[in-house]
Amino acid sequence: MRLLLSFAWAIFALLVDVGTAVSQQDGRVYRIGWLSVGRLGSAPPPIENWTNESATFRDSLRDAGYVAGKNLVVEIRHANGDVARLAAEAEVLVASGVDVIVTAGTPATVAAMQATKRIPIVFYGVGDPVEKAIVASLGRPGGNVTGMAVLIASAKEVQLMHEIAPAVRRVGRLAYAANRPGGDRQAAWEAFAVERMKTEAAAVGIEYIRMPVLTLGEAEAKLAELAGGGAAGILVLQDATLFSPEWRPALMEMALKHRLPTCCQQSRLWAGSGCLVTYTEDFYAVYRGLAGQVVKVLRGTAPADIPVEQPTDYKLVINAKTAKTLNLTIPPSLLAAADEVSEVARTSPLPH
């Protein structure tokens, strides 16, 4: 038996070595560009120092034979929290001759698309890439772009809002107005998405109100107007700008000020900023999927032939402190379904 186990481990080690050799046999060094909005006044660490969820991306690439510091270089460019700088940072990556550009969120993805039609782009953190005219379809993206979409059904968000704040009869859906490439096809998808969300909200007796904003001042005015009508709540759309450390705490502070229950997409960091209910994908799984998409590109598959993937594991986080502040009682059924119940008050700033 010991001999058989030794033999099995030897075969396993051989397979791992062969997998590594496949990507190293030509002695080539692969280059990945990483583009994000970033955080104001904070430079992102090199990939070798990444931790937690983001480290999963690096480790998954390593397991496929692409090792940072050996046969892999990751050039990180960010806009220092300023979306307007993304175009220039994207041009830098294109000029540097990277093999693929990874983009974090819709604004970075749009900037990369405008900078190149040749270099493959793999995105993550994009809410609905078809709606936003980033890909032609999930199954056949077309062009030079594919990635990991986050298609959290708006019906789920409305349902959560209805369960935890049953008095709410109107919801405003916050979205950043400048993160879409435009065009007739995108406009058609926009109209379709709005009608779909209105229908889903109406099914539980809630009026849906679209609230695109460009500045925090505009967001403050729209939240005040929404609250003035009574019995309202906020749905916060998956968006890199809204999620940024400059916007996230400010939006939640405004919502609490106007006593508006909130349901947020994306990271559990929303809960730490004061969001009442956060429904988010498992980011460890997202980064593993992202690495898998990048590996396919590095091994020669065109993005047009790589279907856009979606997370399958989601986490529900409830901020009990915010519920108490809003005099809301969390239903036992929702508490039982929650992956985490946070007791912390709003904190700022938060890690990006």
Question: Do residues 274 and 290 share a domain?
Answer: no
Is 298 part of a structural domain of the chain? yes
Query: Which of 82-91, 122-131, 263-272, 340-349 has the highest average model confidence (pLDDT)?
Result: 82-91
Is 101 part of a structural domain of the chain? yes
Is residue 317 over pLDDT 50? Answer: yes
Question: Do residues 300 and 164 share a domain?
Answer: no
| pLDDT average, residue stretch 330-336 | 91
Question: Do residues 44 and 81 share a domain?
Answer: yes
**pLDDT, tens digit, for every residue of 287-316?**
999 999 999 999 999 999 999 998 878 888
Is 253 part of a structural domain of the chain? yes
Structural contact between residues 90 and 84, judged by C-beta atoms closer than 8 angstroms: no
Question: Do residues 291 and 273 share a domain?
Answer: no
Residue percentage of the chain with pLDDT more than 90: 46
Mean pLDDT for the chain?
Answer: 83
Global pTM reads 0.66
Residue percentage of the chain with pLDDT more than 70: 82
Question: Do residues 144 and 250 share a domain?
Answer: no
Is 352 part of a structural domain of the chain? no
Question: Do residues 198 and 338 share a domain?
Answer: yes
Residue in the block written with tokens 């960010």: 78
Question: Do residues 26 and 109 share a domain?
Answer: yes
What confidence score (pLDDT) does residue 179 get? Answer: 56
Question: Do residues 158 and 139 share a domain?
Answer: no
Is residue 12 over pLDDT 60? Answer: no
Is 13 part of a structural domain of the chain? yes
Question: Do residues 104 and 166 share a domain?
Answer: no
Is 350 part of a structural domain of the chain? no
Is residue 67 over pLDDT 60? Answer: yes
**pLDDT, tens digit, for every residue of 148-182?**
987 665 567 888 898 999 999 999 988 887 755 44
Closest among 306, 317, 308 to 151, alpha carbons compared: 308
Which domain covers residue 125, as residue numbers? Answer: 2-150+283-305
Structural contact between residues 207 and 170, judged by C-beta atoms closer than 8 angstroms: yes
Per-residue HEC secondary structure of the chain comes to: CHHHHHHHHHHHHHHHHHHHHHHHCCCCCEEEEEEECCECCECCCCHHHCCHHHHHHHHHHHHCCCCECCCEEEEEEECCCCHHHHHHHHHHHHHHCCCEEEEECHHHHHHHHHHCCCCCEEEEEECCCCCCCCCCCCCCCCCCEEEEECCCCHHHHHHHHHHHCCCCCEEEEEEECCCCCCCHHHHHHHHHHHHHHHHHHHCCCCEEEEEEECCHHHHHHHHHHHHHCCCEEEEECCCHHHHCCCCHHHHHHHHHHCCCCEEEECCCHHHHCCCCEEEEECHHHHHHHHHHHHHHHHCCCCHHHCCCECCCCEEEEEEHHHHHHCCCCCCHHHHHHCCEEECCCCCCCCCC
Is residue 348 over pLDDT 80? Answer: no
Question: Do residues 218 and 320 share a domain?
Answer: yes
Question: Do residues 330 and 190 share a domain?
Answer: yes
- Least confidently predicted of 12-26, 177-191, 206-220, 312-326: 12-26
What confidence score (pLDDT) does residue 177 get? Answer: 78
Is 347 part of a structural domain of the chain? no
Q: What is the CATH number of the domain that holds 290?
A: 3.40.50.2300
Other Cβ atoms closer than 10 A to 338: 17
Other Cβ atoms closer than 10 A to 169: 16
Structural contact between residues 120 and 93, judged by C-beta atoms closer than 8 angstroms: no
| pLDDT average, residue stretch 74-94 | 91
Is 351 part of a structural domain of the chain? no
Question: Do residues 186 and 246 share a domain?
Answer: yes
What confidence score (pLDDT) does residue 347 get? Answer: 40
Q: Report which of residues 81 and 94 the model is more confident about.
A: 94
Query: For the chain, how many structural domains are there in total?
Result: 2
